[in-house]
Amino acid sequence: MLRLHRARTLLGLLLLVPLTALADFDALPFELRLFLAVDRQSNYSSTLARQASIAALEGASANPGAAAWREPAQPTATVTASFVDAPATGGRSVIAAPVSLRWQAAGHGTVALAYAYTETRNPLGNNGLAEALRSDEWIASYGRRIGLHQSVGFTVRLTNGTIVSDSLAPDLGGQPVRNSTHFLSPDVNVGYATDLGAPLTFGVSAGYGRTRAHTSVTNLAPLFIPIPQVGTGIVLPPGSLLAEPDDTISTYALRAGIGVHPDASTAVYFDAIGLRIAAQHAGSQNLARFAVGADWAAGNGWLLRAGVGVDTIGQVNWSAGFGYRAGPSFEAQFGLQTNAAPEVNREIGRTRLLAGSLAWIF
């Protein structure tokens, strides 16, 4: 009962985040809003056809404590290869190719290593303005059971890449400019999971990241700079460097979830997530997300999944997916999500995410 009381308290704290839409959210720089959008896809494995609930006691969980819950009697290694395609109505498409290796053994815990490559296809889209992300992501995690009813774990991640964003600059008479931001972002996430006793599970995780970003601002068209003192001016050719601002971005995340398991084949999950992103020069933003999802083991190796999420900027997304396990050594998953990156809908349009993965167990 004490563990259940703590779970309710932590969820209650997250629910205190205001549920009003933030009218000034779109005024934030594209780069900050893109960081919040990418957080939605921080785990490419899928339970709610996206990422597993914080309370899901399985290897795909977004909670490093819950991902370490299962410890097989014999050492087991799992290799997973995935592909993610996220086409947008603006004509662009983001693809990602994650691969991972997980090793588990009773009494020794769970060790996982992963790499993900992400890039944007057709970055100019339908409007001729580039909006693109290209990144490399390396992930390492460790977790283990502590007693019969609890597990803990941590994940460290290093991401580096480039964000390109074109816009029309009012201060330059509406001329197009390009912001090319190179970033390096280490972050850490710690998690805890527990079996509260039938039929409940609970998980909580906290994360912190610190990004160093260097931006080059260049003009895309010839730019006339008047010099009133001499009654004339100069013309800067396209690609001229106009500014080089640097920034440091801090990201804080608190996530909690409760799972209800009415029987051995059915699970329903409720998650709440509080996020804060704060830049030294570009501003800050708080955001909360809430999700409910379910999975059902349909028999003969099939698993069906669905979920819905809502956030404090008034965006809703739906997801659905299925998994199939062909014996003890192979598993396949597929997921679909609507409105997958609402934070950047203004620039790239509404995004649909399609994800598939194949796992081999040895």
Please give the Cα distance from 39 to 37 (Å, whole number). Answer: 5
The confidence score (pLDDT) of residue 240 equals: 92
Contact (CB, 8 A) for 179 and 198: no
**H-state helical runs in the chain:** 2-15, 30-39, 64-67, 345-348
234-243: Cβ within 8 A, 24+ apart: 241/216, 241/217, 242/177, 242/217, 242/218, 243/215, 243/216, 243/217
266 CA to centre of own chain: 26
Evaluate whether residue 8 is within a structural domain: no
Q: Residue 138 has what pLDDT?
A: 93
User: What pLDDT is attached to residue 13?
Assistant: 39
Classify residue 143: in a domain, yes or no. yes
Let me know if residue 310 belongs to a domain: no
Measured between alpha carbons, how far is 82 from 334 in angstroms, rounded to an integer? 10
Q: What is the pLDDT of residue 172?
A: 82
Separation CA 28–CA 285 (nearest Å): 8
Structural domain tally of the chain?
1
- Establish if 76 belongs to a structural domain: yes
Instruction: Label residue 63 exposed, middle or buried (CB < 10 Å: 0-12, 13-18, 19+).
Output: buried
**Residue 29, domain member (yes or no):** yes
* DSSP-based three-state secondary structure for 270: strand
pLDDT at position 198 is 78
Q: Is residue 84 part of a domain?
A: yes
Strand partners for 78? 102, 361
Residue 51 confidence (pLDDT):
58
Domain with 206, as residue range(s), is 25-255+276-284+336-361
Q: State the Cα–Cα distance between residues 133 and 94, nearest whole angstrom.
A: 8
Q: Say if 211 falls within a structural domain.
A: yes
* pLDDT at site 9: 44
- pLDDT at residue 16, rounded to an integer: 40
pLDDT at 14: 39
The whole-number pLDDT of residue 314 equals: 86
The reported pTM is 0.86
Instruction: Tell me how far apart the alpha carbons of residues 39 and 22 are, in angstroms, rounded to a whole number.
Output: 18
Q: What CA–CA distance (Å, rounded) separates 30 from 95? A: 19
Cβ atoms of 140 and 156 within 8 Å: the answer is: yes
344: left (phi over 0), alpha (psi -120 to 50) or beta: alpha
From first to last of the 362 residues of the chain, give the pLDDT tens digit.
Answer: 444 444 444 444 334 433 333 446 777 788 788 877 877 765 444 433 445 788 988 877 889 999 889 888 889 999 999 898 999 999 999 999 989 999 999 889 999 999 999 999 999 999 999 999 999 999 999 999 998 899 999 999 999 999 999 988 888 888 899 999 999 999 999 999 999 887 999 999 999 999 999 999 999 999 888 887 777 778 899 999 999 999 999 999 999 999 999 998 999 999 999 999 888 887 788 889 998 988 899 989 998 888 888 888 888 888 888 889 888 899 998 888 888 888 888 888 999 988 888 999 99
Residue 104 placed within a domain: yes
